[in-house]
Amino acid sequence: MDKKSVDLEYELELLEDLYELVVPKFREANDIVVSMLDFPADRPIRLLDLGCGFGHLSSRLLEILPNAKVFGFDNQPAILQRAQKRTQEFGDRFVGLVRDLNESNWLQEMREIDAIVSTFALDYLPPERHRQLIHEAAASLQNGGRWVSCEFFRAKDDRINRVFHDIEVQLVQDKLRQGEVSAEEIDQLSNSSLLRQSHYVVDVAQKLSWLQEAGLKTVDIPWKFLNLAIICAVK
């Protein structure tokens, strides 16, 4: 392996191990996303996980919904490979697809989808593309199908932004003190080229309006913590 691929492997390993430790409320947010999917466990369903990353959420869905098939979309083949590994016990119930959500053909011929979920990923899309993707996603959902996503949002009150930032810093300091992570790892993580890609945080009202204009109903916010919010909707 050349130095570049060794570096990438190391960066991915670090991200996979540490991301959930340094994002405030990561587990709680995942719990709420999962709990919004009220499908009977015995019903065969098809779910999409947009920007599935290392497959944390996909694997929980596969565990809780034993008849579900999850299609995990990500534009990084090396990350998807790790998601495949994490979900290997579920066999072909997880299908990893290398797709760029910035391209309007990301869905290709995928139809009859029961739910679309996404955590900490859609804020990588420029706002106009994010809006379009919601329209494309809504069109692919079955009637009664669900949308559940969780992202960072820009708060109107700057105090909220500041408190969130302070909590992030505090969380990292706690993990350092507890020895769960080293200062060197945090340094490397903050220079991660994957995490440092551009982010486009919109405000929650904007996102709600995109879901409504795409024809989705009962658009709501089942959970919010400072700059983080989960948004759900039904077709």
Ligand X SMILES: C[S@@+](CC[C@H](N)C(=O)[O-])C[C@H]1O[C@@H](n2cnc3c(N)ncnc32)[C@H](O)[C@@H]1O
Contact residues: ligand X, CB under 6 A: 51-54, 56-57, 73-76, 79, 100-102, 119-121, 124
Q: What are phi and psi of 69, to 5 degrees?
A: -110, 130
- Element (DSSP H or E) covering residue 218: strand 217-225
Closest separation between CB of residue 2 and ligand X, Å?
22
Closest separation between CB of residue 197 and ligand X, Å?
7
Q: Is the Cβ of residue 13 or residue 44 nearer to ligand X in the bound state?
A: 13
- The C-alpha atoms of residue 112 and residue 9 are separated, in whole angstroms, by 36
Q: Is the Cβ of residue 114 or residue 151 nearer to ligand X in the bound state?
A: 151
List the alpha helices (DSSP H) in the chain. Answer: 3-22, 26-35, 56-64, 77-86, 127-140, 158-177, 183-190, 204-213
CA angle 111–113–119, rounded 5-degree value: 120
Closest separation between CB of residue 174 and ligand X, Å?
20
Closest separation between CB of residue 172 and ligand X, Å?
16
Residue with tokens 């440092």: 196
Distance of CA 20 to the CA centre of its chain: 12
Q: Is the Cβ of residue 199 or residue 217 nearer to ligand X in the bound state?
A: 199
The two most distant CA atoms of the chain are separated, in Å, by 51
Q: Is the Cβ of residue 143 or residue 193 nearer to ligand X in the bound state?
A: 193
Which position's Cβ is nearest ligand X?
Answer: 53
Closest separation between CB of residue 90 and ligand X, Å?
17
Closest separation between CB of residue 51 and ligand X, Å?
3
The sign one gets for the Cα dihedral 211, 213, 219, 223 is: positive
- The C-alpha atoms of residue 162 and residue 82 are separated, in whole angstroms, by 34
Q: Is the Cβ of residue 49 or residue 114 nearer to ligand X in the bound state?
A: 49
Q: Is the Cβ of residue 101 or residue 138 nearer to ligand X in the bound state?
A: 101
